Amino acid sequence: MLARAIHGEARGEPYEGQVAVGAVILNRSKHPSFPNSVNGVIFQPGAFTAVDDGQIWTPMPEDASAVKAARDALAGWDPTGGCIYYWNPATATSQWIWSRPVVKTIGKHYFAK
Amino acid sequence: MTHEFKEPHETIERQRDQVADLRKSRNGLGFLAGVLGVTTALFGYLGYNQYVQNQAFRMATENHYQRSFNELSTNVNNMELEMSRLMASNSTNQAVTGLTEVSRQATQASANMGQLPLATLLLSRTNQFVNTVGDFSQNLAERKVDANTSLTTEEQSKIRDLHKQTAFLRDELNKMGEQLTTRKLTWVDLQRQARMQEQKGSKQQTAWYDRLWNKVLFTVAGQETETQAPPVLANFQFVETELQKYSPVEYDGRYSEQIKITPRGLGSGQITQEQAVQIAQSWIGQPYLQGHQINVTGEGKAAIPSYGISVVAKDNPNQNKINMDISKTGGHVIYMLKDRPVGTPTITRDDAAAVARDYLARRGFNNFEVTTVEEYQNIAVVTVVPKEGNVSLYPDKVKVRVAMDDKEVIGYDGTAYLTFHHNRNLSQPTISRDDARKRVSSQVAVTGDKLVLLAKDNYQEILCWEFNATRENMNYLVYINAQNGREEKILRVETTNAGKFIF
């Protein structure tokens, strides 16, 4: 499931970006402001555009980098250092997300706590 | 004077022609009208069919949201009820059962909240509150079991504070429930309003025709226009701001706001960008760097502020990139990750473990012990921990990612090590190995033991005896506190093709 979410959200991103998306999902599941399970985080209505518009179900080849990235994230790799938000500055539609302090940029996404 | 009388014969003929023409065209028209009629009817039917289906889906979604909201209300109601009972209790067993029930209802409340179609912003503080209450209760329940006493005055006062906030949340949720029924609001509508609110003032405005349509909908449906804060959403907003006014409850657990982790293993001295590049160079090593370019990609502001470094081959900059983060304080490599396709393995997991140990030793990490090796997609992730004396320090772990086709190390993660490692001057265990052994259940067979430092959920570290134990093909790790003999944790070890997994 984690791999599908990464695939849906960060397909064209560099590998580090894909691991980072996985890490954000895992960080959310451990954070008190978010649902407590990976599935809870992924399927929270409105949380991920790829989930809301069905991109998460695009067919994913078995050797997609998203699968490797998911395993790395689950093994503890976190290039974001604990972030729980990320967005694409060119396409983000919500205004409040810009108030989060940006920790770093990976690929096309800003990551924030 | 001759009239231009047309011959009656001609007039009649012309009239006959005109009628014939008319009839023909009327037939043509009639045919066209028939076709149009059938098509309209067909599309009408299809449209109606779509509408009926749409309504069915809408109703199913709406029912789902209604159920989640109602369950949430019930959960919070129950939380308040249990806490009020605790405030009148005077025994250990009532305290423990009550607290466990609060924790259980809190978990369900959080799960139900996560199913509502509202922006994270509207729910984050509320969700945090519910989770904190649950975690606090769970923690306290565990401690009451050990202490075997009823709630102390201090504990009672904390419960009282939390109870007040829970009652407030419950009242607001009840108000929202009333609003939903009296104003005939639906969650699907609220979802749309919430999204519109989120998008207000952002770069990508909703299209003008969308906004116009929404205005039409609102006026027709008799609801507030988008300029006023919509009900229920406004309630959630109110809850968020009100909950922030309370000071966080002081306790020892996972979500406690008192926990601030400052990295301890960084040492001192700030480095510059150029120094970061040099550190990256010496970490990766010279023969590899031939034909490669090192760039600084930016700065990171996570718990350990860092410089980002990338290493790419000059002739092939888009493949096999190496990314690294170097800490600004002390110039330590926080992590390194290289993405490259890995072929079929030629080494075993034990070989990979040896490669990892060697890699670390050459970079100054000596006396490290391998704890686990996981394998997936031809890559081995080796977890190693340092030791202080003969104690394995689990919080200070380092991970090394080894490609099993050619033994290349393609990943390193020292985040935990840099965050937690320091000279702890651990005291000797008070409980001897044999005494600790006696406290392990007689239902299992013990096969090994060692001294370890274990970190709990709230980052508290305890010295423990770790015993390998088995029972009926199931493998365990049992941890006995080396200072007071308490059975701290029981972990299950599963061995699969991918290695050992610990739950």
Model confidence over A24-79: pLDDT tens digits? Answer: 999 988 888 888 888 888 988 878 888 888 888 888 887 788 888 888 888 888 88
Distance CA B28, CA B24 (A): 6
Distance CA A40, CA B68 (A): 13
Whether residue B1 is predicted with pLDDT greater than 60 in this model: the reply is no
Nearest neighbour of B255 by CB, restricted to A32, A44, A75? A32
Three-class SS state of B259:
coil
Distance, C-alpha B418 to centroid of its chain: 24
C-alpha torsion angle, residues B496, B500, B501, B503 (rounded to 10): 110
CA dihedral sign of residues B266, B270, B272, B278 = negative
pTM of the complete model: 0.79
Say yes or no: A104 contacts chain B, CB-CB below 8 A. Answer: yes
User: Are B300 and A78 inside 8 Å of each other by CB?
Assistant: no
Residues 14-33 on A with a CB inside 8 Å of B are 14-16, 19, 32-33
Whether residue B226 is predicted with pLDDT greater than 70 in this model: the reply is no
Provide the number of CB pairs (under 8 Å) joining chain A to chain B.
129
Average pLDDT over residues B226-241: 73
Residue B194: Cβ-neighbour burial (10 angstroms; 0-12, 13-18, 19+): buried
User: Are A36 and B132 inside 8 Å of each other by CB?
Assistant: no
Q: Which residue, B439, B445, B435, B434, is CA-closest to B476?
A: B445
pLDDT of residue B203: 43
Average pLDDT over residues B383-391: 90
Average pLDDT over residues A2-7: 88
Average pLDDT over residues A77-89: 86
Whether residue B129 is predicted with pLDDT greater than 50 in this model: the reply is yes
Percent of chain A whose predicted confidence (pLDDT) is above 70? 99
Residue B90: Cβ-neighbour burial (10 angstroms; 0-12, 13-18, 19+): exposed
Higher pLDDT, B249 or B256: B249
Average pLDDT over residues B105-115: 91
Residue B63: Cβ-neighbour burial (10 angstroms; 0-12, 13-18, 19+): exposed
- On whether the CB atoms of residues B395 and B409 are closer than 8 A, the answer is no
B/e letters for B323-336, b = 16+ CB within 10 Å, e = fewer, are bbbbbbbbbbbbbb
Whether residue B166 is predicted with pLDDT greater than 90 in this model: the reply is yes
pLDDT of residue B162: 92
Average pLDDT over residues A15-29: 90
**Nearest chain A alpha carbon to B419:** A81
Whether residue B225 is predicted with pLDDT greater than 50 in this model: the reply is no
Nearest neighbour of B114 by CB, restricted to A40, A63, A72? A40
Higher pLDDT, B500 or B32: B32
Whether residue B229 is predicted with pLDDT greater than 80 in this model: the reply is no
pLDDT of residue B4: 57
Say yes or no: A94 contacts chain B, CB-CB below 8 A. Answer: yes
Interface predicted TM-score (ipTM) of this complex, two decimals: 0.84
Residues in B closer than 8 angstroms to A83, CB to CB, are 302
Q: What size, in residues, is chain B?
A: 503
**B interface test, pick of A33, A74, A97, A108 with most B CB neighbours within 10 Å:** A33
Residues 6 or more apart from B403 whose CB is under 8 A from it?
A: B340, B342, B378, B379, B409, B410
CA distance B199 to chain A (A): 5
Nearest neighbour of B128 by CB, restricted to A32, A92, A105? A32
Residue B480: Cβ-neighbour burial (10 angstroms; 0-12, 13-18, 19+): buried
Distance CA B444, CA B479 (A): 13
Whether residue B205 is predicted with pLDDT greater than 90 in this model: the reply is no
Whether residue B370 is predicted with pLDDT greater than 70 in this model: the reply is yes
Whether residue B419 is predicted with pLDDT greater than 50 in this model: the reply is yes
- Residue reference for tokens 């691991």: A19
Q: Which stretch of A87-96, B203-212, B446-455 has the lowest confidence by average pLDDT?
A: B203-212
Whether residue A82 is predicted with pLDDT greater than 90 in this model: the reply is no
pLDDT of residue A72: 86
User: Are B377 and A35 inside 8 Å of each other by CB?
Assistant: no
Average pLDDT over residues B432-447: 90
Secondary element (H or E) of residue A90: none
CA dihedral sign of residues A31, A35, A36, A41 = negative
pLDDT of residue B257: 64
Residues in B closer than 8 angstroms to A36, CB to CB, are 107, 110-111, 131
Q: Mean pLDDT score of chain B, rounded to an integer?
A: 84
Average pLDDT over residues B47-71: 90
* Extended beta strands in B321-361, E state: 322-327, 333-338
CA end-to-end span of chain A, whole Å?
A: 23
Banded pLDDT at B224 (limits 50, 70, 90) = very low
User: Are B321 and A72 inside 8 Å of each other by CB?
Assistant: no
CA distance B155 to chain A (A): 22
β-bridge mates for residue B475, sequence order: B470, B493
CA distance A10 to chain B (A): 16
